[in-house]
A and B are shown apart, each in its own frame.
Chain A
């Protein structure tokens, strides 16, 4: 299945990608996607191993946890904790 991934702020800058479409396995969870991203080049592993719990994931504009299941066509946004206001 295909998903659209968006990266924001510090993470977008670190990996040098704003958005991409990925083909992932059926029945994947958020944790599977993060594991896949973590195993790209080194600049990805630094953020996606998430040792310091600084990754937030939203599916179709709603915050989800790592056990959340991914569906075909989902918009998955990955970003650090927010700092507006």
Chain B
């Protein structure tokens, strides 16, 4: 289980290789990649800055991954999340889960993302095309997504 919290971009192929090479029993890998898009709530966005609380971010992500490992049969998992300046089309987050069968990998990947969205201590500030900068508000839909795991 590896968690990377870094300023620079991550290499998706190497993260996938890391999961593949973990064991010969890996029969499925499910992954999610979150990217920076140029539009949010109808506003055109130029770039973004991601702030975080380093000590807590690491602990929270570890807790989420441990919970996922208790709930599903997981061979290995990797989470990578960036902070600092982010541009359009950049990777923001990667979650990859390797298991013997696809159901465990698919479900655990969604579970990790749902908890990451509502618990991991990151905050996005968007820099708009009109020169303004705005902190992103949390979404009710992210809270709702959590409820299905209760």
Contacts and interface: CB of A to CB of B under 8 A. Distances in A.
Interface of A: 6, 8-10, 13, 58, 61, 63, 75, 77, 79-85
B51 A8 contact: yes
A75 B53 CA distance: 12
Contact of A83 (B56, B60, B81, B124): B124
B138 A84 contact: no
Interface of B: 34, 50-53, 55-56, 59-60, 81, 92-93, 113, 116-125, 135-138
Main secondary structure on chain B at its contact with chain A? mixed
A61 B59 contact: yes
A83 B137 contact: yes
A10 B119 CA distance: 17
A82 B121 contact: yes
Contacts of B113: 85
B135 A85 contact: no
B59 A85 contact: no
A77 to B, nearest CB: 6
Q: Lowest 7 CB-CB distances: which A-B pairs, in order?
A: A84-B122, A9-B123, A81-B138, A61-B56, A85-B117, A10-B135, A83-B136
27 contacts: A8-B51, A8-B53, A8-B123, A9-B135, A10-B135, A58-B53, A61-B55, A61-B59, A63-B119, A77-B53, A77-B121, A79-B121, A79-B123, A80-B135, A80-B138, A81-B118, A81-B137, A83-B122, A83-B124, A83-B135, A84-B52, A84-B121, A84-B122, A84-B123, A85-B81, A85-B117, A85-B120
Given A82-B117, A82-B123, A83-B137, 19 more contacts: A8-B51, A8-B53, A8-B121, A8-B123, A9-B125, A63-B119, A75-B55, A77-B121, A79-B53, A79-B123, A82-B118, A82-B122, A83-B123, A83-B138, A84-B50, A84-B52, A85-B92, A85-B116, A85-B117
